[in-house]
Amino acid sequence: MKLLVLSHSEVEELMPVQDCIEVMTDALAALARGEFAQPLRRGLVPPGAAGILGLMPAYRSSEPKAFGLKAVCVFPGNPALGKDAHQGGVMLFSGETGEPLALMNASAITAIRTAAVSGVATRLLARETAAVLCIIGAGVEARSHIEAMACVRPIERARVAALRFENARRFAEEMQGRYSFPIEPVEDAEAAARGADIIVTATNASEPVLKREWIAAGAHLNVVGSSIATAREVDTATMAAASLFVDRRESTLNEAGDYLFAMREGAIGPEHIKAELGEVLTGAAQGRTSTDEITLFKSLGLAIEDLASADYLYRRAQEKEAGTWVEF
């Protein structure tokens, strides 16, 4: 038996964001049809440790059947060292025999599939004419998200804000050569958000970085950075004012700090969740209903997204004879 090993650069080469948007579209629709199973993610949080270990298993019952497992360490201090905060691997297993088929770089898969899911949400929910993009954050996810947004909407200009202006400036300089539209670094999140048609929050903040009064009527928000119950990026007023769409209800009700803080403050409840993205994709639920509606996609990241990505990458690697195949 041979095991496929894919590095960070190989994952990026085999699964660009634009291709992954279609992979995630199919996966989220399949989730809505009941073709995937996954528990809530589990985490090991040792006292005094610099990071945590997260475990995200999933199973696909449609052909070809498969199991997937992402084991990822999250180290919040890594960006200061020039490293991704997410470090780990995604494993793919045969659904017929249980044999391990592949081990792939989790940092690359996470960055690409997370942005791709936001691309799916933006394609479903943002106004067709949305052209002004706000990115709050200047890290790995900010980089992949500007690409995803440009894939699904006619972006004419982008503004980026970060905790430190120098980081926003460096981000804008690095990314400008890749896009035809101007990318402007600004001093703060308010300057980036006001007047924006699409807003992406991709930070490691624990307190809100986005306020309701900065958000224009008709804007679409992708709230990406927080995936734990104790942190949030948007304030309660924003959560209450927006039509809320999620990747998975169960995950949102248990893991999404943006939702849970607003719920504990009495502003919203489970009925505030308008739909899962998969339900909109399959026609079971409606998306945007007016041009003035503020839509908000709360992204948590699902194990089924990692499994779908790994399966796609495995087939692409076979076709391209890419990666490293080792006896196992």
The mean predicted confidence, pLDDT, of the chain is 96
Model confidence over 151-178: pLDDT tens digits? 999 999 999 999 999 999 999 999 999 9
Phi and psi at 276, nearest 5°, equal: -80, 150
Distance of CA 22 to the CA centre of its chain: 14
Indicate the pTM of the whole model. Answer: 0.95
Task: Centre a 10 Å sphere on the Cβ of residue 157 and count the other Cβ atoms it contains.
Answer: 13
Element counts in the chain: helices (H) and strands (E):
11, 16
Is the pLDDT score of 85 beyond 90?
no
Nearest to 21 by CA among 147, 138, 185: 147
Model confidence pLDDT, tens digit, residues 22-41? 999 999 999 999 999 999 99
**Residue of 112, 122, 123 whose CA lies nearest to 306:** 112
Q: Which residues of 190-221 are buried (b: 16+ CB within 10 A; e: fewer)?
A: eebbeebbbbbbbbbbeebbbebebbeebbbb
Q: What is the mean pLDDT of residues 120-128?
A: 98
* Inter-axis angle of helices 17-32 and 106-125, nearest 10: 70
Mean pLDDT of the 203-221 span: 96
- Give the model's confidence band at 76: pLDDT under 50 very low, under 70 low, under 90 confident, else very high: confident
From start to end of 168-283, where are the E strands? 183-185, 198-201, 220-223, 243-246, 273-276
Instruction: Give pLDDT tens digits for 173-183.
Output: 999 999 999 99
Res. 83: pLDDT tops 90: no
- Portion of the chain with pLDDT greater than 70, in percent: 100
What is the average pLDDT across 47-70? 96
Domain boundaries, the chain: 2-109+304-327, 127-301
pLDDT band at 74 (very low <50, low <70, confident <90, very high): confident
Average pLDDT over residues 100-115: 97
Mean pLDDT calculated for residue range 188-192: 97
Q: Quick one: what percent of the chain has pLDDT higher than 90?
A: 93
C-beta separation of 118 from 148 below 8 A: yes
Residue 227 has pLDDT above 90, yes or no: no
| Dihedral sign for Cα atoms in the order 145, 147, 148, 152 | positive
Would the pLDDT of 252 be above 90?
A: yes
In the predicted model, is pLDDT for residue 133 greater than 90?
yes
Cβ neighbours for 52, distance < 8 A, ≥ 6 positions apart: 43, 44, 45, 46, 73, 74
**Superfamily (CATH H level) for 127-301:** NAD(P)-binding Rossmann-like Domain (3.40.50.720)
Domain at 2-109+304-327, CATH homologous superfamily? ornithine cyclodeaminase, domain 1 (3.30.1780.10)
